[in-house]
Amino acid sequence: MPSAGLGTGGYWAGNQSAVYAGVRLALSLGYRHLDTALGYRTQGALARAIDDSKVAREDLFLVSKVPGGLNGSETAHAIEQSLAELRTTTIDLMLIHFPGSWAGVGSPSLRQESWRALEAAWARGQLRAIGVSHFCPRHVEDLLKLGGKAPIAVNQVEYHCGMGPSSVNQTDGPGFDRLRGILFESFMPFCGQCHDDELLNGELTTGIGKAHGKTGAQVALRWLVQQGIPVIPRSG
């Protein structure tokens, strides 16, 4: 998996023209790691951008997510829908987007059902790897209890240098996942504690950057990648 990818959610969610243009530009600049989700409503536009870019599918690392809070059959349907929308027979990494639904529906048993459905698609070769997103340690433990054949490859979590001790518990950081063989991945690496441009233009990162001839954004990214943490900057 390339260490840096392009996120297609955020302000791009549901905006087909913005996603198409943005992905075409990203691919022309050398991006090969693309991150989407069924819930973003951008998979079709992303697939068209890939087709029109002429970049070979085997050169791309394609990530998608099924919604949280689904049972086994609903998860299986979401996987098939994503494969169809992305116009591919294999997705490189599929994540459970959230421990529950955005409406708050979720439970250990539903998480386990959803994971079993991902495992089945992995066994069929439709998914090269499977993982989770937004999962805290207790949610991860729900899946580890299953003792499944497919490893939890990735946990994608908001994590950045603007997070102080009050906003991240150490057990929710990279250490917990690494001890269990799970790759910890950061989304929204430019997000400050108040979800503003603090990590792009604030003193925390630009002050360090001035000493090294770098921008605030470069400092924020370096803080993560030098720890071996892949990054998915959001699209807007």
User: So which residues are the catalytic ones?
Assistant: 40
For residues 197 and 203, the answer to whether their CB atoms sit within 8 Å is no
Buried b / exposed e over 85-104, threshold 16 CB at 10 Å, is bbebeebbbbbbbbbbeeee
Cα 152 from Cα 134, distance rounded (Å): 13
Q: Which amino acid is at 194?
A: C
Cα 99 from Cα 108, distance rounded (Å): 9
Q: Which amino acid is at 199?
A: L
| Residue 231 backbone phi and psi in degrees, to 5 | -130, 140
Which three-class secondary structure state does DSSP give residue 8? Answer: coil
Q: Which amino acid is at 155?
A: N
51 vs 22, 34, 82, 88, 228, CA distance in Å?
A: 14, 14, 16, 11, 31
